[in-house]
Every structure is written in C-alpha cells, then in structure tokens.
C-alpha cells in the first residue's frame, strides 16, 4: 500500500482536507481523510507537504498525431487551417503516429493528465496500423486511454471539405472501427483502454456513416464522439447541406444521449443546451483551440447551469500548440469570465470540469474524477512551494496561475511522473521523437 500524506487534499465533489491523506492499495484508493493516515504496512510514503493533491485530470478531446504539425496556418480559420493541413496529414504513417502520440501523451502527463482520449480520423491506405501505433504509445507512457476510431467518407467530390485522397469508403470505415473495438476495447472495471466510435464531423462524413456509426456503437456498448458546432462556417455548412443547425442535425440522426460527447459545441442555441441537458449529452470544451482558431467561446456556464456534462480538452496540438491540460483550467475560467462576468465560473468549478466533468463525458464517473475509497488511484500531486506558495488558496494557485510542477502523477497507483519528470519512458527521447515525427511527415517540404 502507498500513502500520500501532509498534502492539501481536494477530493472534488466532496470534502477538502488542508492536511489530509490518501491511501492506495494496488490500483484503487482505499482511504481519504483529514490528518495522518491510519497506521499500516505501507510500501511507500509520499510526503505531499506544500503540495495540492487532486484527482488526475481527464482530457476529453485530442488528436495526438497533430504533434507532428504544430505551428502551421497560424492565422487561419478552422476551414482554412484544415484545408492547409489535410494534404500534409495524407502523408502520415504508423511511425509518425507512434512518435507523435508518445510526445503528446508525455506532454499531457506532465500537466497532470491521467486519462485521455484521442480522436484519430486520417487513415491513408497502406501506411501501417495507425490505431495500433497510438495504443502502443499510450501503453508505453502509461496513461489511461480512450482512443476514438475516427473516420471521414465525404470528400470534396461529395460536397465535403477534405480531399478525396484522405477519406475512406463508408463500409471499410465501419469495419475498421469494429475491428478496433474487437482488438482493444476493455469494458472491465478499472479498464486502461476503452474505444469509442467517432466519425470526424458533419462536414467530412456522410449521413449514412453518422447513422451507422451510432448503430454500431450502441450494438457494441461503446461511446460516440464527434466534432460539433465548432465554428460559424460549420453552422452555415449544416444549414446549406441539411437544412438545420448542427444540434438539430444530431438530434435527427439519433446522436444525442448519455453515451455521446461532442468536441467544442461553441455555437449552441438555447434549444441545443436544453437538448444536451435532457439527454445527458456531453461537451469537451477546448478553450485554447477555440481561441487560436477564433471560433468563439462555448456557453459552458449555461451548459453547467442546465446540468449537462462538460469536460475539458486540449484538442490537437496543431490548433493549440504545446497546450498543457492544467492550463485549460485557467483558460476555461478566463473565457467564461470574459464572456459573462467574474462569477461565471469559480476556480473549484474549473477544477471539477477538468476532473469529474471529463469523467462524466467518458462515462467513467464511478471510477475516476474524484478522490474517494473504491475509486481508481489516479492522482495529481502539484508542487505549490516557492512562488506558487504566495497564493493563499492552493486551488486558486493551480487554476489562476501557470501550471505548477508535479511532485507526482499516479495512474492506477503507478508512478508516471515524479519531480516534474516522466518516469515511464526517457523524457528526452520521447521529446526527440516528436521532432522526428515532424521531420518524417514533412520530408522535404518547407
């Protein structure tokens, strides 16, 4: 058993203990409380003095392969950015994905993430098993992983945005998605890997693929994910192609429910928010990416007030370069306040978005997202000494300030980060792999 003691423990959704303890047995938490831990046979004592102890952060939207294409189309809208990058992404292979994913996952771990999704939707033919490559990277870095098998089947010749070379045949995409579920999805309690079904977006996917993807996910008992209502361009595209808003389109396709979470949802109207709340449909809020692409500010405060699940996401690194997940706590808070005033979101609400809110989006609120006996031992222990200690309240320091270093990051009771460094793989080699991925993908391009 491991004991974490002397830290400021924030359980999220429950109590806070200014000098508390957490006891871990195997991959589970067995005790959380104030003061010293009960006497026992502990294999390790982690002194969290001067530290804030929180549930590990949950990242609800990402495209790990994009680590290889950071910094491109720096001033473009979403559609300009996508159009500028599709041709580059078409050159991706399994080696690029392996290296880019490892770097992206390590970066997440270093900012307090213990569970992450990934949404991979570009599968050029004959380039190796890209999905297997990212699964292997997640096992290497040691994060709990919810990869979403994405797909696109609506190229330019059918009125879609992506070039025809990067889209798949509808049936082939569905078969490959089911094969990924067969190969990797683990529904057992404590699972380290669950697969979701995730056609890319209304403007790159046919109605047939959207409908059959939902049927597949429900037949196999897995979750559904896609991009939705990210920009006004998408809104216009939806109205022109389908005669309705993106939210109405999802309702028509049977894509609302407590087994669905959408990325972005920036442009929701009041009826959409009511639909999301009534059905338990989740939102992955990605404020840095929305800011970078000038997409707008999601109505997070209204979604929360209505009772809809909301988590945080960094989105792919190509639209939010080097974004630390803990930094999204701050971005979410500042965006809501800039839009709706200083009481729109509190520091503790922001922390809840990044933990329990994300767990709800992934359907794992019974296992992760809070610190309580019986829950999985996914913990972030933030070092708030030095300059950070000048802020009286540690949650305020974490959310309002820059991302502090981690004293420790535990996933299922296993150390992934210690003293601000990755411990599951050589950090410098993983970082170098991220550069190698870019060089391999870009080849001779300027």
Query: Restricting to residues 306-325, which ones interact with Zn ion according to CB under 5 A?
Result: 315
The least CB distance from residue 418 to Zn ion, in Å, is: 31
The count of other CB atoms within 10 Å of the CB of residue 94 is 16
Contacts of 310 (CB under 8 A, 6+ apart): 282, 283, 285, 300, 303, 304, 353, 357, 361
Query: Restricting to residues 243-302, which ones interact with Zn ion according to CB under 5 A?
Result: 263
The least CB distance from residue 61 to Zn ion, in Å, is: 6
Between 275 and 292, name the residue whose CB sits nearer to Zn ion: 292
Q: What are phi and psi of 206, to 5 degrees?
A: -75, 160
Check if the beta carbon of residue 301 is closer than 8 Å to that of residue 345. yes
Give the DSSP H/E element, type plus range, for residue 287. helix 287-292
Q: What 3-state DSSP class applies to 17?
A: strand
- Per DSSP bridges, beta strands 2-10 and 16-25 are antiparallel
Between 229 and 347, name the residue whose CB sits nearer to Zn ion: 229
Eight-state DSSP code of residue 231: S
Contacts of 115 (CB under 8 A, 6+ apart): 56, 57, 58, 59, 143, 144, 145, 146, 358, 359, 362, 364, 368, 378, 411
Between 12 and 92, name the residue whose CB sits nearer to Zn ion: 92
| Residue 19: HSE in the Cβ half-sphere, 13 Å Cα cutoff | 4
Between 46 and 92, name the residue whose CB sits nearer to Zn ion: 92
Termini Cα distance of the chain: 53
Between 153 and 315, name the residue whose CB sits nearer to Zn ion: 315
Q: What are phi and psi of 379, to 5 degrees?
A: -130, 145
The least CB distance from residue 164 to Zn ion, in Å, is: 21
Between 61 and 194, name the residue whose CB sits nearer to Zn ion: 61
The least CB distance from residue 263 to Zn ion, in Å, is: 5
The least CB distance from residue 334 to Zn ion, in Å, is: 21
Count of chain residues binding Zn ion (CB under 5 A): 2
Eight-state DSSP code of residue 182: H
The least CB distance from residue 309 to Zn ion, in Å, is: 18
Cα–Cα distance between 151 and 171 in angstroms, integer?
A: 11
- Hunting for tokens 């939705």 — which residue is that? 228
Which token pair is 339?
């839009």
Q: Nearest-CA neighbor of 11 among 375, 428, 431, 423?
A: 375
Between 106 and 263, name the residue whose CB sits nearer to Zn ion: 263
The least CB distance from residue 20 to Zn ion, in Å, is: 37
Between 9 and 210, name the residue whose CB sits nearer to Zn ion: 210
Between 69 and 424, name the residue whose CB sits nearer to Zn ion: 69
Check if the beta carbon of residue 406 is closer than 8 Å to that of residue 420. yes
Q: With the C-alpha atoms ordered 247, 249, 252, 256, is the resulting torsion angle positive or negative?
A: negative
Between 59 and 424, name the residue whose CB sits nearer to Zn ion: 59
Angstrom CA distances, 229 to 167, 250, 299, 426, stand at 21, 10, 12, 39
Query: Under the rule (CB under 5 A), what is the footprint of Zn ion?
Result: 263, 315
């Amino acid at each position: 058993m491991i004991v974490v003691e002397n830290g400021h423990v924030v359980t999220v959704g429950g109590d806070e203990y200014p000098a508390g303890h957490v006891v871990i047995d195997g991959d589970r938490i067995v005790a959380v409380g104030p003061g010293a831990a009960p006497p026992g046979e502990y294999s390790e004592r982690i002194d969290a003095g001067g530290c804030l102890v929180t549930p590990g952060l949950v990242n609800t939207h990402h495209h790990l392969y994009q680590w290889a294409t950071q910094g491109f189309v720096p001033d473009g809208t979403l559609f300009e950015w996508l159009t500028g990058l599709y041709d580059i992404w078409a050159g991706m292979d399994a080696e690029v994905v392996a290296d880019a994913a490892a770097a992206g996952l390590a970066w997440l771990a270093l900012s307090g993430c213990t569970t992450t999704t990934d949404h991979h939707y570009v599968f050029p033919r004959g380039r190796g098993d890209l999905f297997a490559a990212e699964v292997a990277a997640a096992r290497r870095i040691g994060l709990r992983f919810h990869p979403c098998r994405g797909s696109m089947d609506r190229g330019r010749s059918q009125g879609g945005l992506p070039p025809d070379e990067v889209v798949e045949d509808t049936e082939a995409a569905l078969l490959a998605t089911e094969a990924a579920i067969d190969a990797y999805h683990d529904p057992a309690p404590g699972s380290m890997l669950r697969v979701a079904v995730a056609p890319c977006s209304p403007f790159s996917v046919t109605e047939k693929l959207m409908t059959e993807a939902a049927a597949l996910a429900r037949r196999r008992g897995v979750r559904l994910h896609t991009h939705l209502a990210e920009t006004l361009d998408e809104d216009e595209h939806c109205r022109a192609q389908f005669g309705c808003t993106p939210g109405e389109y999802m309702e028509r396709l049977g894509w609302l429910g407590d087994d669905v979470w959408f990325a972005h949802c920036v442009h929701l109207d009041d009826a959409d928010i009511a639909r999301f709340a009534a059905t338990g449909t989740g939102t992955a809020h990605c404020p840095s990416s929305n800011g970078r692409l000038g997409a707008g500010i999601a109505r997070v405060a209204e979604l929360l007030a209505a009772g809809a699940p909301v988590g945080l996401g960094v989105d792919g690194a190509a639209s939010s370069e080097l974004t630390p997940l803990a930094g999204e706590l701050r971005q979410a808070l500042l965006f809501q306040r800039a839009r709706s005033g200083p009481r729109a979101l509190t520091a503790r609400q922001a922390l809840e978005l990044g933990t329990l809110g994300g767990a709800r989006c992934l359907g794992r609120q019974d296992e992760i997202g809070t610190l309580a006996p019986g829950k999985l031992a996914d913990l972030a222990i933030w070092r708030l000494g030095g300059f950070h200690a000048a802020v009286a309240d540690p949650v305020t320091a974490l959310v309002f300030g820059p991302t502090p270093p981690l004293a420790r990051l535990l996933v299922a009771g296993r150390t992934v980060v210690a003293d601000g460094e990755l411990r599951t793989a050589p950090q410098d080699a993983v970082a170098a792999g991220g550069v190698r991925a870019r060089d391999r993908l870009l080849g001779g391009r300027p």
